[in-house]
Each structure stands twice: as C-alpha cells, then as structure tokens.
C-alpha cells in the first residue's frame, strides 16, 4: 500500500471551511515532525512559550477566580486550543488541570501532538478539524479558547473569529496572539527572522496577512464580546528572552470575554 501523504489528506478534507488556506495548512504540515525540537524550525515558539503560558495562566486565574497556588489551578475548565500545531500549548494547559481539546487543520500536526502527549502520559483530545467543522458537529461550548498565532494564517478572518465566538461559552474567555501589520513587524518578524537570522523558514509569514489590533477588536465587539488589549510582547536580543511590555508594533496579545 502506498504511503499516504498527510498534507494532501489535510488540505483535501477541510478546504470547504472558509477560514482554511490550503497553502498555509500544507506549509505547517510539512514541518510537523519538528514541533517538539527546541532547536528546530519551531525554536522561536519554544522561546516564546513561557511568556504565553504565564499570560494565559494569569488571565484565566483572574477571570475564573481560581487558586493560583494550586498544582492544577485550571481544573474544571474546558479549553479549546484552536490551530494547536504539535500541542506546545495544549499539553501544558492539560498539565495545569484543564480538560483540553486541540484542533488543527493539518492532520500531520495532530499526529505529532498525539504521539507526544501519549509518550509523556498527558491526556488531550486532539482532533484533525477546524473551528467551523467543530461548531457544525455540535460540540459543547468551551470555557476557554486559545487562538494563538493562528489568525494570520487564515483565509477568512471574519468567519474564523465568528466560529470561535460561537464555540465560546457564556462567561468564557478567548485569548488571541498574533503579529501586527506594521513595517516594523515586516522588518523584524519576517525579513530579519526568516531571511537573515533563519529563526523561521522563509515564507512562514506573509505581510499582507498580518493583523492589526482593530481588525480583531471590531469584529469581536460586533459579536458582543468585551475586548481588552492589545498587550505587547517583545524580544530582547541580548538575553534572547521574551518579555511583556507596551510595544505592540510586532507581537501582541488580546483578551475577549463573552459576558
């Protein structure tokens, strides 16, 4: 039997969903084996992860009045990691006690995520799907949706944000992280990071698909979500560490609550 091409399978089965860009799916599926290599193509995400995790943990504890001293403070929360990739956020969220569903349009990514979670004994419901398909299946709404570094790879931002909003339970929180569409982001996050430093494979990001904060805020507020942020995230090249700050011209995060 011929070996199945996971990229081809992923793009052929989910392209009916309006937010899916087959080229973007194929791009990340081709790198699926490297998700958990801290020195591989996803090295920047491994370096970025502590800041993301700290931000998420802090906001969820505050929103849901959880015990920050607990070993698993997120126990009782149903969490969706949309565009989960290899599970770099799904796995630590499950370790913190959340009941996690990780969804990605690339089947190869889901295979990698499942393999890693099983290897270390962490339970996550990984699914080869999309926000639109998940919604159509009648899935129960989630308390938390992580929408991290995904929206800039979608074909239809409006449809994507709308489906995510519909998947969010009343009182729930969605956290979004992305790159701003500025010339500074183009210079640092695309030209320098991809072409000069080779932190990311060339073509990982396209300037025209980067997203300004107002392009997230306006549709989410039209869906009756309460949006805060943007909150800036920056990189210190001397210490090679990420930190939270006021500069939102490159990386930023936003928080939306369904009151």
Residue pLDDT, tens place only, 108-159: 999 999 999 999 999 999 999 999 999 999 999 999 999 999 999 999 999 9
Look at residue 145 and give its three-state secondary structure. strand
pLDDT score, position 34: 85
Low-confidence ranges of the chain (pLDDT < 70): 1-16, 197, 199
* Residues 60, 212: Cα–Cα separation, whole Å: 24
pLDDT score, position 200: 73
Terminal alpha carbon distance of the chain:
52
232 to each of 55, 111, 210, 248, 250, how far by Cα in Å? 11, 32, 15, 4, 8
pLDDT score, position 3: 34
Q: Which CATH code, of 3.40.50.620, 3.40.50.2300, 3.40.50.2000, 3.40.50.150, is assigned to 6-257?
A: 3.40.50.150
pLDDT score, position 40: 83
Q: Output the pTM of the full model.
A: 0.88
* Residues 144, 71: Cα–Cα separation, whole Å: 19
Read off φ and ψ for residue 194, nearest 5 degrees. -95, -40
Residue with token string 């995230």 = 233
CB 20, CB 157: distance < 8 Å: no
pLDDT score, position 16: 61
């Amino acid at each position: 039997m011929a070996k199945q091409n996971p990229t081809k399978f992923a793009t052929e089965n989910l392209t009916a969903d309006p937010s899916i860009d087959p080229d973007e799916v194929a791009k990340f599926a081709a790198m699926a084996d490297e998700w958990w290599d801290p020195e591989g193509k996803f090295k920047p995400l491994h370096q970025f992860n502590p800041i993301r995790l700290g931000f998420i943990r802090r906001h969820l504890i505050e929103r849901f009045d959880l015990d920050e001293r607990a070993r698993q403070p997120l126990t009782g929360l149903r969490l969706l990691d949309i565009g989960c990739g290899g599970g770099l956020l799904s796995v630590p969220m499950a370790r913190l006690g959340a009941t996690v569903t990780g969804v990605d349009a690339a089947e190869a990514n889901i295979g990698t995520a499942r393999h890693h979670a099983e290897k270390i004994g962490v339970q996550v419901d990984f699914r080869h799907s999309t926000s639109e398909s998940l919604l159509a299946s009648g899935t129960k709404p989630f308390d938390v949706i992580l929408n991290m570094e995904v929206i800039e790879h979608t074909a239809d931002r409006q449809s994507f944000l709308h489906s995510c909003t519909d998947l969010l339970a009343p009182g729930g929180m969605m956290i979004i992280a992305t790159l701003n569409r500025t010339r500074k982001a183009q210079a640092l996050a695309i030209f320098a990071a991809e072409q000069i430093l080779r932190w990311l494979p060339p073509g990982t990001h396209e300037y025209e698909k980067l997203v300004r904060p107002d392009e997230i805020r306006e549709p989410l507020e039209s869906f009756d979500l309460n949006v805060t942020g943007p909150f800036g995230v920056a990189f210190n090249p001397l210490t090679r560490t990420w930190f939270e700050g006021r500069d939102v011209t490159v990386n930023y995060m936003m928080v939306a609550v369904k009151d």
